[in-house]
Amino acid sequence: MSVCSVTGLPKRSYRWSLVIRDDQRGMAMLTVMMVLLLLTVLGIAAITASGLGNTMAGLQRTMEASANAAESCLGTGVNIIQHVLLTENGRQILPALLNSTPGGPVPSANKAVLESEISGNSQNNTDVPIGSSAAPNLQMDVGPYAVAGDIDFLYVKQRAGSGQMQFAGYEGAGAGGGNDVDAFFRLTCVATNVAVGTESQVSAIYACSLGGDGCQKQP
């Protein structure tokens, strides 16, 4: 008796062939799904990394702008010190520098205190530019940043190699001084952008000639 066959195979072999082909199709579908899942994960990771990079770059630009705003306050503070130390200005802050004049960086209520500090009468004053007890010597707006600054007189020092002279009078009524004597000041400025919650603080020491030769930033 002959065995009935399809496509040249015995009937039993044909049934096993169908099962094997179904299994192969299932494995192929599973492989495709795994590849799609892997590609999706890689795509999400790439998008996340790109977004994080953009966020970090934006934050860095914001911090740089904040630091630049604070640095501009240092320059303003040095200019005010130099103006006050000029003999022809009588150790007083010029009216044009007061905030009663539009754009002036010195609060009018702080004028006498700042003049006293620059003249050496208030050594290491405890006033601070920001905080609950803030009494800034300088206030200015630089773009979106509110900048507050503090100027503190530290000490006077005779320049190396200069002739012996008396300069202690500077610490009293603001008299005395010369081209070979420097007054040292610490300037601290804080720039704040409330909208984005960033803050940058810079501080520097300057040696300023009592003879009106300008100020030099110390390393």
Residue 154 has φ and ψ, to the nearest 5°, of: -105, -60
Cβ contact 180:169 at 8 Å: no
Parallel/antiparallel/unpaired status of strands 5-6 and 145-158: unpaired
pLDDT digits (tens, 9 = 90+) for 83-127: 898 888 888 898 889 987 677 899 988 898 899 888 887 665 667
Tokens of 18: 């169908």
Write the single-letter amino acid at 199. Answer: E
pLDDT digits (tens, 9 = 90+) for 125-161: 667 677 767 788 999 898 889 999 999 999 988 876 5
CA distance 76 to 34: 63
pLDDT-derived band at 60, boundaries 50, 70, 90 = low
pLDDT value at position 78?
94
pTM: 0.66
Q: Where are the domains of the chain?
A: 50-217
CA distance 190 to 151: 12
pLDDT value at position 80?
93
> Which is more confidently placed, 32 or 170?
32
Q: What is the pLDDT averaged over residues 15-20? A: 52
Residue 157 has φ and ψ, to the nearest 5°, of: -150, 135
CA distance 21 to 216: 86
pLDDT digits (tens, 9 = 90+) for 161-193: 555 544 444 544 344 445 678 999 999 999 998
pLDDT-derived band at 9, boundaries 50, 70, 90 = very low
pLDDT value at position 74?
92
> Which is more confidently placed, 212 or 206?
206
Q: Which of 146, 162, 133 is nearest to 194 (CA)?
A: 146
Local structure of 207: helix, strand or coil:
strand
Cβ contact 151:118 at 8 Å: yes
